[in-house]
Structure 1
Amino acid sequence: MTDRIVYKILTPDEYDALTRAGSFSGSSADIVDGFIHLSAAGQVAGTLDKHFSMKSGLVLVAVDLSLLDPAVVRWEPSRGGQLFPHLYASLPIGAVVATAPVARTADGGVSLPV
């Protein structure tokens, strides 16, 4: 894949943990799976619908993959065979290039921070 900017959806508590600690080790689902789930721009709305439909106050962080060690990022098949970015390390705050509250667009998409 060639997407340089990918996204992580965080709950308010997870976002606070990222900003306090300077890195994020993953949600409970990430920890169980052994990697941090990320989404390309075109995958964010589907991820929200599937995994976060009942949550509020979510924060979308934009992650610049060029600021991470390429050895810890893998694009792997997931939902419907799509390739999703997976981070096999903690997410350092230095790789986060923008943040915004999760907001839907009129067409059902998601307003991306970058």
Structure 2
Amino acid sequence: MTALPNILHITERSLWEEARARGGYEMSTRGRTLQEEGFIHCSTRDQLPRVAAFLYGSYDGPDELVVLVVDPARVGAPVKWEAPKPGGEEFPHVYGPIPVTAVVDVEPWAQHPAG
């Protein structure tokens, strides 16, 4: 059986720290929760710079951004690869909370979009 590649989620450090205290992460995307969106948006390493630029290109918040490195085999919820529009690029979506035990690394996000 082939291991699934890790998936990534960019977020604010304070949101990750809150999730660690609760035992699970439940933010879908910037400003929207899992309950509001129905799933947690994730990406591959190749997709991450574009996702970060789209979501946080104008970010000037007080918190540093971090990248959660998630092992999909540890999530315990369905992970579906879906396109935002028919025929578009597929992104991993997690249909449930991400347990902190599924986060195998937390990386600082230091890359800034060009422009």
Common fold, TM-score beyond 0.5? yes
- Equivalent residue number for residue 112 of structure 1: none
Using the TM superposition, give the Cα deviation of residue 75 of structure 1 relative to its aligned residue in structure 2, in angstroms.
Answer: 0.5
1:39-73 per-residue CA deviation (whole Å, 9 max, x = no partner) reads: 1111100000101112251011100112123x511
1:75 and 2:81 are equivalent in the alignment: yes
Structure 2 unaligned residues grouped into runs of 5+: none
Q: Is the 8 A contact 1:30 1:37 kept in 2?
A: no
Of structures 1 and 2, the larger Rg is shown by: 2
Structure with more helix by fraction? 1
| TM-score (normalised: structure 2) | 0.79
Structure 1 unaligned residues grouped into runs of 5+: 109-114
Distance in 1, Cα, partners of 2:33 & 2:22: 17
Counterparts of 1:18-37 in structure 2, within 5 Å, are 18-27=19-28, 28-31=31-34, 32-37=36-41
Bigger shift: 72-81 or 16-25? 72-81
Counterparts of 1:54-93 in structure 2, within 5 Å, are 54-55=58-59, 57-69=64-76, 72-78=78-84, 81-93=88-100
Kindly report structure 1 stretches of 4+ aligned residues shifted beyond 6 Å.
none
| TM-score (normalised: structure 1) | 0.79
Distance in 2, Cα, partners of 1:4 & 1:67: 12
Give the alignment's Cα RMSD to 1 decimal.
Answer: 2.4
What percent of counterpart residues are identical? Answer: 28
